[in-house]
A and B are shown apart, each in its own frame.
Chain A
């Protein structure tokens, strides 16, 4: 034994290199090959998706517009104590007039007005109205400006106006994130929004709640169907599968409008109920333009995303287990609850996470059937992107939403493992 180990030295592979080294090299090569296979896609997704999304989300903290548009004013405001309750000095007003004349020339002052209006309603009209007058002033000869500006619009005689400008002159701001949770930046630090503007936290809550309800409804409806599909012979289950896949293949827009036709007060469901006499003509059910409408339509739209993963998990459950349990005297219920159900949980998990993630990001369907009460946070994001142009807030809301989704993803990966998600 000792002889052998001495003469042999380290174990050698067939080509004479030490085995350990050879194995390490093979492992390294394997890793490289794997990375080489992944690399094209990874680079593609990183460059064309992750980076653009990142730069979009960066808008949630980016706030250079105030400093860029009013550089002199921002400098002059440094020495003003915003908590003193007194108006700033003449030099601030003069700097402001100089900045504004440049800004008006470049057509930037209305954008700044819109930006500050997100924080304090009234700033937009203040900037727009005053812009027309300030344009006529000459910074060299027309001073002093304090009186003149206050004359033009009494908003300039309001300490609050200057507080807003100063508070929001930082190039990187937490203001949008504060807005996203119904708070705002003030000279005294973060404060709650006034009562009538607090809508976003409620909306987040509603989005989560409704997505949960939709996920729950999908589980309830998908479970029996998946079970049926998994237990029927392939021939039958494939034909039934067509019924599941058909709606899935039909355009989302068409399905949503079909739901509109069905759910509205003069729609198919109400008409049928009235015809059958179950509902009085003047007491038609209100099942559209509210949460019920959104829940029904979205449950329908997301149901295939629940059925497919559940079905593929249930397919792998061997029927011999349940038969064995029954032969040992278990009742139907016990067999189902103790044997079958636990094995189908990965399917429920995979489907739920998929449906939940898709649900909280939805916006076209709630927009069409949700009215004002059945809309999601995504509708708010879309509104801020295409209508109010408050992209900063939209990005902040999007970042929060994305964070929620990522946490869910992480939890899911810990519990089930992302490899176990199956789609058909």
Chain B
């Protein structure tokens, strides 16, 4: 026992000596190019202004709900600011796991004085959610594997005869069910009404059944780009920023299929139950990181649209490639000819129901 004790205390000394004097603040995000853009646009300037804060990243946004629930139950919240998609934010807010935010007191107004609540507008989909970007989930396809007629319609995904080969789809019902219904002949504005019924859900699954054997299911953001780069799949759904980086930065023979892209939001939440000191620090960071200039800065590194109206005119060129970012934004009129608006309320309500069905279907 004695040597152990000795070693422990020696190690303790080493650890404390090794740790920087600055206080760690843990930001949770998605990793990859997206997190890199946040690091450059938000974290680095913030640490420069506040040398006493040291930002560390945790790439756990995909499991944010589960982890926050566990942390809350254990009374040990190690995260300070968490980047989540809007539907997760709604869920966390409903369960009291995220702190409610008052946009006009907690967030910076636009440079012209417009209060934040107006600047963000409809994108404030929950009391706890501070929107950051608009992104879309859409398809990319291998230009060299689709023959002379590249796909231009979302239903080409379901057309195994014209486009044989594997496709990658996300291992969850969201988006897949909507696309399936759209391609089964349901008009766009009725999709969610149909999906709210048992018959509608079965109908969507039946449509997905037609391509089930040709689907590679992905669960992490890096999967589809890797599968496309390998030529393992002909087309695959993923976030548009990932495809941007695959096409423009990595120069892979891939092109975008923008048809029926699904708009979604991503943003910050602050976990409920932080100590006062940590809460103030988190709020201070949020105030800084979601102001007009900062949101526009992020778009220099990745093709996601800033969530503030006032940031849109400030979006310029890619920081390294020097190409104009506007045509790569999901909101660009050329890309947004046929878009699909993700229904937050619907998915917040029906996610558990449909997820249970979808997972059972998947395991059949």
Contacts and interface: CB of A to CB of B under 8 A. Distances in A.
Contacts of A117: 352-353, 356
A211 interface: no
Interface residues of A, number: 34
A160 to B, nearest CB: 13
A289 B166 CA distance: 12
Given A199-B363, A264-B232, A389-B65, A121 B351 contact: no
Contacts of A371: 216-217
A208 to B, nearest CB: 16
B1 A121 contact: no
B115 interface: no
A389 B66 contact: yes
B360 A196 contact: yes
A129 B94 CA distance: 12
Contacts of A118: 356
B96 interface: yes
B152 interface: no
A371 to B, nearest CB: 7
Interface string B327-364: 00000000000000000000011111101110111111
Interface in B92-142: 94-96
B63 A110 contact: no
A107 interface: yes
Contacts of B360: 196-197, 199
A203 B363 contact: yes
Contact of B349 (A107, A125, A264): A125
Nearest to A380: B363
A107 B216 contact: no
Given A110-B95, A124-B351, A125-B352, A385 B66 contact: yes
Interface string B63-98: 101110100000000000000000000010011100
Contacts of B349: 124-125, 128-129
A265 B232 contact: yes
A308 B352 CA distance: 46
B248 interface: no
B230 interface: yes
A388 interface: yes
A106 interface: yes
B63 A122 contact: no
A266 B230 contact: yes
A113 interface: yes
A124 B216 contact: no
Interface string A185-196: 000000000001
Contacts of A124: 349-353
B253 interface: no
A264 B230 CA distance: 9
Contacts of B67: 386
Interface in A247-284: 264-267
A383 B352 contact: no
A389 B352 CA distance: 10
21 contacts: A107-B95, A110-B91, A111-B95, A113-B352, A114-B352, A117-B356, A118-B356, A121-B357, A123-B353, A128-B348, A196-B360, A196-B361, A199-B364, A203-B363, A264-B232, A265-B166, A266-B231, A289-B216, A372-B362, A388-B352, A388-B355
Interface of A: 40, 106-108, 110-111, 113-114, 117-118, 121-125, 128-129, 196-197, 199, 203, 264-267, 289, 371-372, 383, 385-389
